C-alpha cells in the first residue's frame, strides 16, 4: 500500500501528478487527429522546434512556457507560408523548420552561464512544476479541448473526406492551421513534465494505442485519454520508486502499453476484420 501512497506525500509530487493528468487528457484529444491525419512528423518537429523559444525565454528571464508558445506560433505561421510553394513538399518544410528552430535552441542554451542543463528542457523536470504552471497548463489545455469540441465536425470532414469538406464550405487550410496551433499548445503544457523531446510521445503514443482498440472516433478519443492519464501517472509513480528520469519513464510506459495493445489486437487487424474509423 505504501508503494501507491508514498509518492503523493510531498507537495511537489502532487503538483507533478496534476501536470501529468492535464497532459494525459489534452494530448490524446489533439493526438487523435494527429494520428488520423498522419501528422506525427509535424508533432515531432514542433516538439523539437519549441526549444528555440524556451532557450530565448530562459535567457531573458521570462517564463519558458510563454517562450515555447511563441516559438510554436512562429513555426505554425512559417509552415503555412512556406507550404504555399508547391515545389516543396510539406514534409520537407516541416523538417527544415523543426531542425532549424531546434538548432537555435541548442545554441542559445549552450551559451547560457547559469549552469542550466540542456537535458532539463529536452526531457523535462516535472518535479519543479509550480502552481502557476499548473494553472497556465489548465487554461491552455481547457482551451485546446474546447476548440476540438467546437470544430469536431470540421475536423472529421477535413480528415476523412477532403473533397466533401470543401464542397460544404469547410475551410480545410484553416482547420489545418488550427490543428498546428493545438500541437504547439500540447508541446507547451508537456514542457515541464516530459520535456520537448518526449512531448511527441504523449501526443502520439496513447492515441496510436487507442486507434488499434477503438471502433469510432468517440471511442478513440476516450480510450486515448484513459491511456494518457494512466501512462502519465503510472510512469511518474514508477520513476519515483526507481529514481529514474520522469519524462523518459513516462515515455517508456507509453511505448510498453502500445506494444502490448499492438500484440493483443493483431488478430482483429487482419484484412477481413478491418473496419475504417469514421
Residues 6 or more apart whose CB falls under 8 angstroms from that of 166 comprise 172
DSSP 49: H
Q: Within 10 A of 236 (CB to CB), how many other CB atoms are there? A: 25
Q: Does position 268 have pLDDT exceeding 70, yes or no?
A: yes
2-200 CATH, one of 1.10.3470.10, 3.30.930.10, 3.40.50.300, 3.40.50.280: 1.10.3470.10
Give pLDDT tens digits for 142-201: 999 999 999 988 888 888 877 777 777 777 778 888 888 888 888 888 876 677 767 788
pTM, full prediction: 0.82
Q: Within 10 A of 7 (CB to CB), how many other CB atoms are there? A: 19
Distance CA(12)–CA(129), nearest Å, equals 7
CA angle at residue 38 from 146 to 85, to 5 degrees? 95
Q: Give the residue extent of every domain in the chain.
A: 2-200
Give pLDDT tens digits for 27-60: 999 999 989 988 888 877 887 888 888 888 888 8
Residues 6 or more apart whose CB falls under 8 angstroms from that of 111 comprise none
DSSP 88: S
- Measured on CA atoms in the order 84, 89, 93, 96, is the torsion positive or negative? negative
Residue-level pLDDT at 121: 65
Amino acid at each position: 500500500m505504501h508503494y501507491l501512497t508514498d509518492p503523493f506525500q510531498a507537495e511537489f509530487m502532487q503538483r507533478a501528478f496534476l501536470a501529468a493528468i492535464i497532459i494525459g487528457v489534452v494530448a490524446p484529444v489533439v493526438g487523435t487527429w494527429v494520428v488520423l491525419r498522419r501528422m506525427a512528423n509535424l508533432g515531432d518537429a514542433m516538439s523539437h522546434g519549441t526549444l528555440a523559444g524556451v532557450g530565448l525565454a530562459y535567457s531573458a528571464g521570462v517564463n519558458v512556457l510563454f517562450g515555447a508558445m511563441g516559438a510554436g506560433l512562429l513555426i505554425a505561421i512559417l509552415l503555412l507560408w512556406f507550404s504555399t510553394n508547391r515545389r516543396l513538399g510539406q514534409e520537407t518544410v516541416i523538417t527544415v523548420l523543426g531542425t532549424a528552430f531546434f538548432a537555435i535552441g541548442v545554441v542559445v542554451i549552450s551559451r547560457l552561464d547559469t549552469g542550466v542543463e540542456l537535458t532539463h528542457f529536452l526531457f523535462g523536470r516535472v518535479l519543479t512544476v509550480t502552481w502557476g504552471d499548473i494553472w497556465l497548463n489548465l487554461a491552455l489545455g481547457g482551451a485546446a479541448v474546447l476548440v476540438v469540441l467546437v470544430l469536431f465536425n470540421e475536423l472529421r470532414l477535413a480528415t476523412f473526406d477532403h473533397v466533401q469538406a470543401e464542397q460544404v464550405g469547410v475551410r480545410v487550410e484553416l482547420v489545418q492551421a488550427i490543428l498546428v496551433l493545438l500541437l504547439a499548445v500540447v508541446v507547451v503544457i508537456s514542457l515541464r513534465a516530459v520535456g520537448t523531446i518526449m512531448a511527441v510521445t504523449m501526443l502520439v503514443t496513447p492515441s496510436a494505442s487507442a486507434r488499434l482498440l477503438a471502433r469510432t472516433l468517440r471511442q478513440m478519443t476516450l480510450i486515448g485519454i484513459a491511456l494518457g492519464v494512466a501512462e502519465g501517472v503510472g510512469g511518474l509513480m514508477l520513476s519515483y520508486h526507481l529514481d529514474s528520469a520522469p519524462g523518459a519513464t513516462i515515455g517508456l510506459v507509453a511505448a510498453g502499453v502500445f506494444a502490448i495493445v499492438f500484440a493483443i489486437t493483431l488478430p482483429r487487424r487482419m484484412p477481413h476484420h478491418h473496419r475504417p474509423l469514421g
